[in-house]
Amino acid sequence: MGNRKNLYIHTIGCQMNHYDTEQMAKRLAPVGYDITPFLERADLIITNTCSVREKAEQKVYSFLGRLVEMKAEKPDLIIGVSGCVAQQEGAAILKRVPKLDLVLGTHAIARLPGNIQRLEKQRSPIVDVEVSTTIDDFVASADPVQADHVTAFVTVMRGCDNYCTYCIVPYVRGREMSRPAEKIVDEIRILVASGVREVTLLGQNVNSYGKKEGLCTFHDLLALLNDVDGLWRIRFTTSHPKDLSDDLIQCFGHLGKLCHHIHLPVQSGSNRILKLMNRKYTREQYFEKVDKLRRTCPDIAITSDIIVGFPGETPADFQETLDLIKAIEYDSLFMFRYSDRPHTPASGFSGTVSSQAQKERFDALLALQEQLTVKKHRALVGLTLPVLTEGWSKRQHETGTDEHPSTVQWTGRTSTHRVVNFVRDPSPAHPETLRGKMVDVKIRRAFPHSLEGISADVCPDWGPGGEEANVT
Ligand code: 5AD
Ligand code: SF4
């Protein structure tokens, strides 16, 4: 293995980007590259980028600036940029970032190894941002990644046809395309064989999975995955409220492995703003979906995205958003200040909300949600909840040594996606590992972003059905 080289991938942005990063690393291994955690040791550095908001894009350019400086010291270094900014800017990035060797678009991951081999032979910049119109190369670009984690992401579809007026995704990720169910099942079986117990299915709008291609529906896909032996938990993200079908809602009632959590971005509580955003639902229709979800699965956790300061948003519109949040009581919220994006219709809308007003609205939202989350977390104190242990949270060395810490704090998540840190009580006589085990944890304390508890029991032979039975 004398000629192996070092690869460093810097990932900015969403889970889809993290998945693509794993795919890139996997594809570069056969042509001689191993991942290094040390930027300074890298022979090839790829920045996998996000352009959904301006702030993310700024981060990209400041990181690329650092790489250009490194390259001045180390001329053989290959530097590349992939993901949404690469797709959006194409060859224009070469002007802004001199010395860049590769611009790789969102549909070009399968061509990455060939591009790198060409660069090794001859250094002239490559721009590969061709968008595919068929499913074939996407299917090719989603090989199973041998996981070393308990949880894994699996892309089931990509692209988006919704054209919300603020969003750049349809322009940089292209049209919706779904992977055949067999490929997804195969990938998940391989992940399970390597120890994965929980998968999160990824797509910009998973509810329209398979529609275009005439594949099975998303709820059929969930049913198929519910039958995969050794898989304990299934999650998915993201759902568009307009496409959330009754069949999918029913899955939360009868699929034992489907986690009790849905991310259902509402974006705004004002019908006027929802219309300007082209979201194609009203707040009343959204409330109706939430009601159905809660009737089907009473303990379901519901999380959401909100944009504050969309062009034309008045204080009254924003008040409607606050009222909606109070009425729904989300389990947690991702909040964003509106950011103008190239190509998008909203970037031409009048009624810009001042930065000061955006900040005030953002802060008001944050304060409200913190109260709601803490209230929800406090209600869980005293309950015993099953937690899938992902690893150590931290080690405490009251009397122990590095190899045998006296107390190990473990971390994992509930079915409802809450982080739980816990210790074992009584402390086991022999060193043990709980990684990948389902553990009953009694919740003792609630924090704004996590829960803390103790666990007496490791669920033996945990399987579907055990989860509900264990909630007290
Ligand atoms: N400005 C602010 N937030 C945005 N999002 C998408 N585009 C923008 C934008 N231009 C947010 C939405 C989406 C989340 C992933 O990012 O809330 O659901
Ligand atoms: Fe963007 Fe709307 Fe598509 Fe989500 S549904 S990716 S917000 S266009």
Residue by residue, pLDDT tens for the chain (472 residues) are: 568 999 999 999 988 899 899 999 999 999 999 999 999 999 999 999 999 999 888 999 999 999 999 999 999 999 999 999 999 999 999 999 989 999 999 999 999 999 999 999 998 999 999 988 776 666 655 666 666 689 999 999 989 999 999 999 999 988 999 999 999 999 999 999 999 999 999 999 999 999 988 889 999 999 999 999 999 999 999 999 999 999 999 999 999 999 999 999 999 999 999 999 999 999 999 999 999 999 999 999 999 999 999 999 999 999 999 999 999 999 999 999 999 999 899 999 999 999 999 999 999 999 999 999 999 999 999 999 999 999 888 655 455 555 555 567 899 999 999 999 998 877 776 767 888 999 999 999 999 889 999 987 666 555 444 333 322 2
Atom of ligand 1 nearest to the CA of 166: 10
Distances (CA, A) of 289 to 67, 142, 366: 47, 32, 24
Q: The pTM is what?
A: 0.90
Q: What is the CA(264)–ligand 1 centre distance, in A? A: 13
Q: Is the CB of 171 under 6 A from ligand 1?
A: no
Q: Is the CB of 53 under 6 A from ligand 1?
A: yes
> What tokens does 22 get?
């794993």
Q: Which alpha helices (DSSP H) does 122-157 contain, by range?
A: 136-140
User: Could you tell which of 17, 87, 240, 274 is best to mutate to test the pocket of ligand 2, judged by most ligand atoms within 8 Å of the CB?
Assistant: 240
Q: What is the CA(338)–ligand 1 centre distance, in A? A: 7
Tally of CB atoms within 10 A around 445: 12
Cα gap 96→346, rounded to integer Å: 26
Q: What is the CA(336)–ligand 1 centre distance, in A? A: 6
Q: What is the layout of strands, in order, in the sheet containing 198-202? A: 151-155, 198-202, 233-237
Q: Is 42 exposed, middle or buried (0-12, 13-18, 19+ CB in 10 A)?
A: buried
Q: What is the CA(239)–ligand 2 centre distance, in A? A: 10
Q: Is the CB of 267 under 6 A from ligand 2?
A: no
Q: Which alpha helices (DSSP H) does 297-445 contain, by range?
A: 315-328, 355-378
Q: What is the CA(169)–ligand 1 centre distance, in A? A: 9
Within 13 Å, how many C-alpha atoms sit on residue 288's CB side?
10
Q: What is the pLDDT of residue 470?
A: 29
User: Could you tell which of 88, 161, 164, 207 is best to mutate to test the pocket of ligand 2, judged by most ligand atoms within 8 Å of the CB?
Assistant: 164
> What tokens does 299 get?
């303990």
Q: Is the CB of 412 under 6 A from ligand 2?
A: no
CA 246 to the chain's CA centroid? 24
Q: Is 387 exposed, middle or buried (0-12, 13-18, 19+ CB in 10 A)?
A: buried
Q: Is the CB of 392 under 6 A from ligand 1?
A: no
User: Could you tell which of 166, 310, 358 is best to mutate to test the pocket of ligand 1, judged by most ligand atoms within 8 Å of the CB?
Assistant: 166
Planar angle of CA 297, 301, 307, nearest 5 degrees: 130
Q: What is the CA(166)–ligand 2 centre distance, in A? A: 8
User: Could you tell which of 266, 325, 333, 336 is best to mutate to test the pocket of ligand 1, judged by most ligand atoms within 8 Å of the CB?
Assistant: 336
* Length of the chain, in residues: 472
Q: Is the CB of 52 under 6 A from ligand 2?
A: no
Q: Is the CB of 201 under 6 A from ligand 2?
A: no
Q: What is the CA(327)–ligand 1 centre distance, in A? A: 22
Residue whose CA is at the smallest distance from ligand 1 atom 16: 52
Atom of ligand 1 nearest to the CA of 334: 17
Q: Which ligand is nearest to the CA of 335?
A: 1
Q: Is the CB of 162 under 6 A from ligand 2?
A: yes
Q: What is the pLDDT of residue 468?
A: 36
Atom of ligand 2 nearest to the CA of 267: 7
Q: What is the CA(401)–ligand 1 centre distance, in A? A: 47
Residue whose CA is at the smallest distance from ligand 2 atom 2: 164
Q: What is the pLDDT of residue 472?
A: 23
User: Could you tell which of 14, 205, 280, 334 is best to mutate to test the pocket of ligand 2, judged by most ligand atoms within 8 Å of the CB?
Assistant: 205
User: Could you tell which of 12, 53, 58, 205 is best to mutate to test the pocket of ligand 1, judged by most ligand atoms within 8 Å of the CB?
Assistant: 53
Q: Is the CB of 127 under 6 A from ligand 1?
A: no
Q: Is the CB of 305 under 6 A from ligand 1?
A: yes
CA 222 to the chain's CA centroid? 18
Cβ within 8 Å of residue 63, ≥6 positions away: 10, 12, 47
Residue whose CA is at the smallest distance from ligand 1 atom 14: 305
Atom of ligand 2 nearest to the CA of 240: 5
